Amino acid sequence: MCLAIFSTWVRQMKLESVEALRVHKQRFGLEGRAFGAPARVNLIGEHTDYTGGFVMPMAIDFATVAVVSARNDGRAVFYSLNFDEEVSFELASLGRTPQGHWSDYPLGVVWSLAQEGITVSGFSMSLAGNVPVGAGLSSSASLEVATAMALLSHAGQELPLKTVATLCRRTENEFVGAKSGIMDQFIVAGGVAGRVMLLDCRSLEFELLPLPAEVRVVVCNSMVQHQHAGGEYGDRSDEVTAGQEVLRRERPGIELLRDATLADLEACKDKMSAASFARCRHIISENGRVIEAKGALLRGDVGRFGELMVEAHASMRDDFAASSPEVDTLVEIAMRQPGCFGARITGGGFGGCTVNLVKVDKAEAFVEAVRSEYKATLGISADCFISAPTDGALAMAAKGGVQ
């Protein structure tokens, strides 16, 4: 891992924490405790998690900070530094009542903790972060996990990684109403500095794999935002579910798409819609690419890893129909640059970011070239960031948190 990048990340987290702590005391009159959670980027394995498949994400150096202190009136009060807005709820009457507001995410964590038998007493919480919203870097999971860590401390409780990730996913699925898998919450909570994670989304078993020292991960934001709660993301999830149901009915032994082969899918083609067939073909082939990507990493074969990223992007664009013209342009520009091994869309799709694997000594020039060409082509100024795998929330807490 690049020590300079890691040091910058630590300083950034401390700055976010110091400001949130200062504002919290000024607003609520009490010292609070700060807890942080990073963002994530997925190197390969898109839309496979909610069908029990394989993914390969890493935690990256953006952060959400949650500062918490006690109050004695039985209320949950959230203040967002980013929105400069405060909302308040009576804990005794809390139900599953999302409002389509940013507060649904932290409030949903309170509700989800209760489903685990953990009831929290009154609290004030200040939230701050620099994770780009709608960029495919999982700002929602970062917010959920930071909130969960703060509230678990407030309640005097500790939970294992799988439970933290599961309750935060429940927040997303059952409270907010977004049809997402568990990858985001799992890597945001459980990432480890210097490692990418191969996660089996059915068993929740995982391996930590080294990122070769000769490459950097560059994240490029198309500046086109997306949303997961409903819309096209929800449509794709429904199409996948319909195809999976056909396979489950027609092919004994198949429970989830990760159990199916492309031959199984072809045999059931006439029994599902063309859209479901294409979406399922993406997921089945993507699971295979993730497993092959693991082998490429272990061999240090960054060339093959990059080829798999390009194949994954084509599958997201064509079979899953979840890219966008702006993202496609970013990928095309990236692949023309010296030292770029691979590029693809990352996150749920329909905008957001690309993830790029770039030779370390070409990374700075890559960023400048991509920014310049994207601006010249589409008139949009893309944000680009050179990243390295960072610690997730549980590892940060074990190392003393962000205070």
Residue positions annotated with a catalytic role: 184
Give 39's Cβ-side CA count (13 Å radius).
Answer: 25
Q: Are 57 and 183 in contact (CB under 8 A)?
A: yes
Beta strands 383-387 and 195-200: pairing type?
unpaired
Contacts of 368 (CB under 8 A, 6+ apart): none
First-to-final CA distance of the chain: 23
Length of the chain as a residue count:
403
Tokens of 65: 């900070």
As a whole number of angstroms, the distance between CA 108 and CA 338 comes to 45
As a whole number of angstroms, the distance between CA 12 and CA 31 comes to 21
Q: Are 174 and 96 in contact (CB under 8 A)?
A: yes
Tokens 């929740």 belong to 204
Going by C-alpha positions, the residue among 113, 129, 137 that lies closest to residue 188 is: 137
As a whole number of angstroms, the distance between CA 12 and CA 120 comes to 30
Q: Are 157 and 132 in contact (CB under 8 A)?
A: no
Radius of gyration, CA atoms only, the chain: 21
As a whole number of angstroms, the distance between CA 147 and CA 128 comes to 11
As a whole number of angstroms, the distance between CA 159 and CA 255 comes to 29
As a whole number of angstroms, the distance between CA 381 and CA 371 comes to 6
Give 346's Cβ-side CA count (13 Å radius).
Answer: 29
